[in-house]
Amino acid sequence: MAKEKILTGVSGEYFVAAELSKRGYVASITLRNTRGIDILVSNSEASLTVGIQVKTNTGNRKSWILNKKAENYSEKNLFYVFVNLKSTNERPDYYIVPSEDVANRIKIVHNRWLSTPGKRGQQHRDNPMRIFSDKDDKYFEKWELLGL
């Protein structure tokens, strides 16, 4: 299971780097010890650069699990690309989201969850898990948000 999860994450990073390259950007996958940035991408003139954090899932879910740290991890030139790997023969779906939007949305959603009673009426317990979702496709294929 853990090995499959790692391979899914690595696959997402390579798919994003390939998609960025296909669109004319220079994409470099970072080493594993680069905190919070999976891909550095710049325009072809190398005059603008942004960092990308990639989160990948499988199936047709439009939601991804994040850590509580993401609530406070936002920078002007930092973006998330959420990847939905579908079947082997299908192109993945990409959701491009500014890190500030991710931080704000997961705070709101988590606080709403905490204030909503559980299935048996009990109060939810706080935990470090956060969920980002884009069920209305607001960020679907929004590569232009990178500003490159």
Which CATH number covers residue 117? Answer: 3.40.1350
In the chain, how many domains are there? 1
Tell me the per-residue pLDDT of 45-83, one tens digit each, with 9 for 90 and over.
999 999 999 999 998 888 999 999 999 989 999 999 999
More confident residue, 99 or 1: 99
The residue count of the chain comes to 148
Predicted confidence band of residue 33 (pLDDT cuts 50, 70, 90): low
Tell me the per-residue pLDDT of 95-132, one tens digit each, with 9 for 90 and over.
999 999 999 999 999 999 999 888 888 888 999 999 99
What is the predicted pLDDT for the residue at 2?
A: 66
What is the predicted pLDDT for the residue at 7?
A: 80
- What tokens does 95 get? 């959701």
Q: Are 38 and 52 in contact (CB under 8 A)?
A: yes
CA 7, 32, 138, 141 dihedral sign is negative
What residues make up the domain containing 70? 2-146
Q: How far apart are alpha carbons 131 and 108 in whole angstroms?
A: 10
pLDDT of 24 strictly over 80? yes
Predicted confidence band of residue 35 (pLDDT cuts 50, 70, 90): confident
What is the predicted pLDDT for the residue at 104?
A: 95
Q: How far apart are alpha carbons 8 and 14 in whole angstroms?
A: 10
